[in-house]
Amino acid sequence: MGHMHAPGKGLSQLALLYHCSFPTWLKLMSDDVKHAIYKLAKMCLTPSQIDVTLRNSQGVAQVCFVIGNQILRILKSKELACPCSSRRSLLLD
């Protein structure tokens, strides 16, 4: 359903870049970000809470741009992901 006085349908025009590269202004390396993710995961934070913490405290805009992988996949590779962090387990409970 569109707006009456505008050509658009109210959808956001923001989109992530297809070509993601390491930001030049970021001083942290990928290993530093991974260690921060592991430390926050041991404090029982969810991947979205880890992302917010990294963005606000360390200035990491998108973790996948720095590391090349998503937070949940990184946690699953180290077996640090909580079983409740997947959507399917939330639906089944």
pLDDT band, residue 14 (cuts 50/70/90): low
pLDDT tens profile 31-83: 999 999 999 999 988 899 999 999 999 888 888 888 888 999 999 998 887 76
Specify the amino acid at residue 58: Q
Backbone angles phi, psi at 73, to 5 degrees: -70, -35
Report the run of H or E that residue 42 belongs to, with start and end: helix 30-42
Q: Report pTM.
A: 0.69
SS3 12: coil
43 within 8 A of 9, measured Cβ to Cβ: no
How far is C-alpha 71 from the chain's CA centre?
6
Q: What pLDDT score was predicted for residue 71?
A: 92
Domain boundaries, the chain: 30-80
63 or 5, higher pLDDT? 63
